[in-house]
Structure 1
Amino acid sequence: MDEMVFRSEDVCAADRFDYWSELLGRTHAPMELRSDHADDFRASQRVLDLGAITVWTHTFQPLVFRRTPKLIRQSDPETYHLSLVVRGSGVSVWRHRETEYKPYDLFINSSSLLNDVYSTGDPVQSVALEVPKALLPLPRDVAGRIVGAPVSAREGMGALLAQFLTQLIADPAAYQPCDRPRLAAVVIPLVAALFAHLLEADDCLPPETRQRALALHIQAFIREHLHDPHLTPSAIAAEHHISTSYLHRLFQDEDATVAAWIRRLRLEAARRDLTDPALRTIPIHAIAARWGYPRAAEFSRAYRAAYGTTPSDHRHQALQPRE
């Protein structure tokens, strides 16, 4: 997989700090930066583009980052920012919380919230992830509870996400460009499960917030078990010790019923595989079974209903040579 590499040393010493400020504004969000090393700032960044999601690792000298009201009005990409601290430490300050960070902590932030981040250590190193809020819709009061929540990357849900990020950034050449949507499809459930875990851990949350946390947890569970042909609303409800009617109420804010949501995710995944040149030798029935359709006829009917064509015709059209 291709990656973009940026180094402050690519420009002359007098321009390095401004260059780095502009770069962070493009890859994250505009920020005010301050540093005692601004006269000859040293930093580097590697960026992996997974489509809607961006992963990067960067190393830099101590900085102070600020997101001000003016900068938020100027540009808000509406993203959640998660950063695994590898080296160095820091303190982040929001209106509602102040949190200290050390190596192997996960830092969670929002591009929409005012904050000051003070990083220490020479150099500071982290692996970061940007996820659009539209992929993880949360009410405003819930987002505030997640941002700044202390999360250890040494155990539990934090460790799962950290392991994935470090493995991905360690050897991006092991992945092909066509792997981008698959990697994004792995990241989103991991982040959703982490957020749900953080919300469920707060016994003081109001009922509607706990309900949203449970919905996120169930959605992550569904994404992880799409291959299971027995993934039905009743099975999902039993797994989470709730009634089927309550499960359907949890999905009232979604644009589809539980069964329709599962079907859409399965068909989208199968469609990606069918149009992937690297998988052109995999039989259609094998791809269907991979995504929870053990019966080829059922898969073909569902595919035609969703996309207006058969799986074989769609694959042939997508993979035929083009001039």
Structure 2
Amino acid sequence: MSTPTTAQPLPSITYNSLDADPADRFGYWCDLMGSTHAPLELRSEHADDFRVRQQVISLGDVVVWPIAFPAVTMRRTPRLIRQSDPESYHLTLMLRGHGVVTRRDHEVHYDPGHFHSQDTSRPLDIQASSARGRLLTIGIEVPKPALPLPRRLADRAIGLPMPDGHGVGALMAQFLRQFVRNRAEYRATDAPRLGAVATDLMAAVFARAVEAENALPPHTRHSTTLLRIKAFIQRNLADPALTPAAVAAAHHISTGHLHRLFRAEGITVGALIRRSRLERARAELADPLWAGEHIHTIAARWGMAAAEFSRAFRAVYGMTPSEYRHQRAAGRAR
């Protein structure tokens, strides 16, 4: 009889400098950056006791690295490029801190609100600091051949403004935040799908920066359109008027086109709205913070009438909302 195999987690490396002696911390991190990103000249006034925590998470050829680190200067010189060039495009989502990037004689300041873009084949100088001690960023790297955007356009995008608070930039930021927050829930088998989503989003961010969205291949435009629609649905679940027709109208497409976009998703737009509302309501039923809230109030908060909510909840979870709430409360009391 065969033994069932346990699903493998996403391949990753975790480096916490507190696990090393203070004198070795900065050197270990320099080696990690050189082997997982690209060789850099790194300097820091905190080098004697460098406090950094970084993960390097592999999604196939795509790499995501959340990192918390103190002020540092990074230089990618022509000599280092000749020494080793992974030929990758890089985006950094700045969550906390400030960066000054110098390319030749051109200086750009980065704060939360805009992505920092980088090409490992180009020299640059980065001075990164934070008034609150450590910077918090999420970096993502995609090999140049994997990016579904003509190379000449991707190269032009490097260094241009790329907002992370609206449009496709907001989708990219949301993807990175959610992925890092929920990374323990994913398995190695999820890596190709997640890597493809990340690659399409990066291509769309670059294309938007050079106003060349039409240069994206159809599959990338399809993928980013679906992500935009799904994000819109999640933001508007509480609106009782959220219907497939309303979703289509908000995105200036026909309802028929909307349904065709979802054909390969394994779920209809209406079913996605219902399922998402039920999941939000179920989470509140299980949360002791909402224990005194009437069930019909929770249902209404997520855009559902009480009778509709009760029927749909029983159909999906095999019990009424009140039975579910009682079951969860009993479990906490044990």
Q: TM-score, normalised by structure 2?
A: 0.61
CA contact 1:196–1:217 (8 Å) conserved in 2: no
Q: Once the 2 structures are TM-superposed, how far is the Cα of residue 218 of structure 1 from its aligned partner?
A: 3.9
Tell me the distance in 1 between the aligned counterparts of 2:200 and 2:153.
18
Equivalences for residues 1-323 of structure 1 within 5 A? 1-2=9-10, 3-95=12-104, 97-121=106-130, 122-136=133-147, 141-200=152-211, 214-216=214-216, 218-223=218-223, 290=264
Tell me the distance in 2 between the aligned counterparts of 1:141 and 1:168.
29
CA contact 2:43–2:72 (8 Å) conserved in 1: yes
Q: Once the 2 structures are TM-superposed, how far is the Cα of residue 81 of structure 1 from its aligned partner?
A: 0.7
- Corresponding residue for residue 308 of structure 2: none
Q: Deviations over 1:250-294 (max 9, x none)?
A: xxxxxxxxxxxxxxxxxxxxxxxxxxxxxxxxxxxxxxx7379xx
- Corresponding residue for residue 207 of structure 1: none
Describe the shift of the 1:155–1:58 C-alpha distance in structure 2 as closer, same or farther (beyond 3 A).
same
Describe the shift of the 1:141–1:134 C-alpha distance in structure 2 as closer, same or farther (beyond 3 A).
closer
CA contact 1:105–1:153 (8 Å) conserved in 2: yes
Tell me the distance in 1 between the aligned counterparts of 2:154 and 2:215.
15
CA contact 1:54–1:130 (8 Å) conserved in 2: yes
Tell me the distance in 2 between the aligned counterparts of 1:155 and 1:96.
30
CA contact 1:97–1:148 (8 Å) conserved in 2: no
CA contact 2:161–2:209 (8 Å) conserved in 1: no
Amino acid at match of 2:196: A
CA contact 1:5–1:45 (8 Å) conserved in 2: yes
Q: Once the 2 structures are TM-superposed, how far is the Cα of residue 149 of structure 1 from its aligned partner?
A: 1.3
Amino acid at match of 1:25: G
Q: Tell me, which stretches of 5 or more residues in structure 2 are unaligned?
A: 1-8, 227-262, 267-334
Q: Deviations over 1:50-104 (max 9, x none)?
A: 0100111000010000000110000000000101001111111112732111123
Computed over aligned residues only, the root mean square deviation of the Cα atoms, in angstroms, reads: 2.4
Aligned length: 221
Q: Once the 2 structures are TM-superposed, how far is the Cα of residue 111 of structure 1 from its aligned partner?
A: 0.4
Instruction: Report SS of the residue matched to 1:165.
Output: helix
Amino acid at match of 1:192: A
CA contact 2:55–2:65 (8 Å) conserved in 1: yes
Identity across the alignment (%):
44
- Corresponding residue for residue 261 of structure 1: none
Q: Once the 2 structures are TM-superposed, how far is the Cα of residue 39 of structure 1 from its aligned partner?
A: 1.0
Task: After superposing the two structures, state which structure 1 stretch, 103-112 or 132-141, moved more.
Answer: 132-141
Tell me the distance in 2 between the aligned counterparts of 1:224 and 1:148.
22
CA contact 2:99–2:110 (8 Å) conserved in 1: yes
CA contact 1:54–1:129 (8 Å) conserved in 2: yes
Instruction: Report SS of the residue matched to 1:157.
Output: helix
Instruction: Report SS of the residue matched to 2:127.
Output: strand
Amino acid at match of 2:34: G
Q: Deviations over 1:164-213 (max 9, x none)?
A: 0000000112212111111112111111111111111xxxxxxxxx5xx5
